[in-house]
Amino acid sequence: MIPLSGPDITMREIEEVVGVLRSGRLSIGPKVEAFEKAVAEYTGKRYAVGVSSGTAALHLAPAALGVGEGDEVVTTPFSFVASANAALFVGARPVFVDIDEDTMNIDVSRIEDAMTPRTRLILPVHVFGLPCDMEAILEIARKRGVSVVEDAAEALGAEVGGKKAGALGDAGIFGFYPNKQITTGEGGMLVTDSEKVAKLAASMRNQGRGETSEWLEHERLGYNYRLDEMSAALGLVQMERIGELLERRAQVAQAYDERLREVGEVTVPAEVEGMKRSWFVYVVRFAAGIDRDEVSRRLHDAGVESRPYFPPIHLLPFYREKFGYKPGDFPITERVSASTLALPFHGRLTEGERDRVCDAVEEAIPRAKK
């Protein structure tokens, strides 16, 4: 079976992690600080706060910006569920805006219509590593006096007009799960230019301990969201290799593009002028007459793993029960969701494996017509 994803790990990462284990300093140490500095410098932000996951960063960013009970957060229903859950974590309500059918990102033209006097935050998601129209989003935010947190968990290395995605709003977050551009196993990062936001996030990740507090003194409500030293050591080497890692992924994506754009009834990922995608997953879309799930079953039978990306958040059981969402509420998201499929994708995917995947897709399509 060709797996959906896989980390790109060398002996350098292994040696660094083993070095931490031998040091006896496994938490709250120099590797986290060095990793934070590397990410801050890469993104061009003043501060970076390492945490245990991208989801933890999504929780801390709105919390540090003062979003809370009764507020509203405008975001997309086409994402990993954590982006919407982040609003609920702080007592706010996620307000969904349908997506652009081509980019699969939030439709900026619909954002203002979704805003109310309770809106405190816009949370755009750079879906599949393709940046949102941040210039337009920031203009709306400035006009309406609200904050912006970029969910760049899938977009480390992406650029908007030459600027790094995740570094344009009041705060940005990244995730380092094993299928991401770089990995720490689990782990995430919050970046910002605000000293206040950075200090609050750093305190809340460590049970609310203040910057100068004694060991068991806690100034505010906090969480155990610390990033450990082993993960940071792994991430630090990955950041040193990031140019190589991104280039490998881009080469795999280009090879897929060249082969699959010639296949009828398959649409390859979109390109947008002025936007540089950082390749997270490779998601294709099938024409209306193709049963996506049948394609996936046939790929599995051919030894190729695949997965639908993403189910609409508003139709997940919890959201339907809590907010009363139903099919048809966000029709573009639902249509895109029903027709997209992630194919095996990582930087070490061989030419032979890519050919197997593409052959399997070509063979599946005629047999998957509705």
Q: What mean pLDDT do residues 107-131 have? A: 98
Q: What mean pLDDT do residues 22-49 have? A: 97
Per residue in 250-267, pLDDT (tens digit) is 999 999 999 999 998 999
pLDDT band at residue 370 under the 50/70/90 scheme: confident
Question: What six digits make up the tokens of 262?
Answer: 């010639």
Q: Both ends of the chain: CA-CA distance in Å?
A: 26
In the prediction, which pLDDT does 212 show?
75
pLDDT at 213 over 90: no
Q: Are 322 and 86 in contact (CB under 8 A)?
A: no
In the prediction, which pLDDT does 210 show?
85
Q: What mean pLDDT do residues 267-285 have? A: 96
Q: Where are the beta strands (DSSP E) in the chain?
A: 47-51, 72-75, 93-96, 119-123, 147-151, 159-160, 163-164, 171-175, 188-192, 266-267, 275-276, 282-286, 340-343
Per residue in 158-178, pLDDT (tens digit) is 999 999 999 999 999 999 999
Q: What mean pLDDT do residues 93-111 have? A: 98
Q: Which residues contact 225 (CB under 8 A, 6 or more apart)?
A: 51, 52, 53, 56, 59, 60, 204, 205, 206
In the prediction, which pLDDT does 215 show?
77
Of residues 30, 53, 5, 2, the one with CA closest to residue 230: 30
Residue 266: what residue type? V
3 state DSSP class of 32: helix
**pTM, 2 dp:** 0.96
216 C-beta neighbours (distance < 10 Å), count: 7
Question: In what side-by-side order are the strands of the sheet with 340-343?
Answer: 266-267, 282-286, 340-343
Domain 242-368: homologous superfamily in CATH: Aspartate Aminotransferase, domain 1 (3.90.1150.10)
Of residues 303, 234, 249, 316, the one with CA closest to residue 279: 249
pLDDT band at residue 211 under the 50/70/90 scheme: confident
pLDDT band at residue 217 under the 50/70/90 scheme: confident
Distance CA 94, CA 83 (A): 9
Residues of the chain with CATH 3.40.640.10: 11-240
CATH code at 11-240: 3.40.640.10
pLDDT at 11 over 90: yes
Q: What mean pLDDT do residues 69-73 have? A: 97
180 is catalytic: yes
Could you give the percent of the chain with pLDDT greater than 70? Answer: 100
Which is the catalytic residue, given 163, 180, 196, 199?
A: 180
pLDDT at 214 over 90: no
Distance CA 22, CA 29 (A): 14
Question: What six digits make up the tokens of 184?
Answer: 């720490």
Q: What mean pLDDT do residues 133-159 have? A: 98
Residues of the chain with CATH 3.90.1150.10: 242-368
Q: What mean pLDDT do residues 234-252 have? A: 98
The overall average pLDDT reported for the chain is: 97
In the prediction, which pLDDT does 310 show?
94
pLDDT band at residue 351 under the 50/70/90 scheme: very high
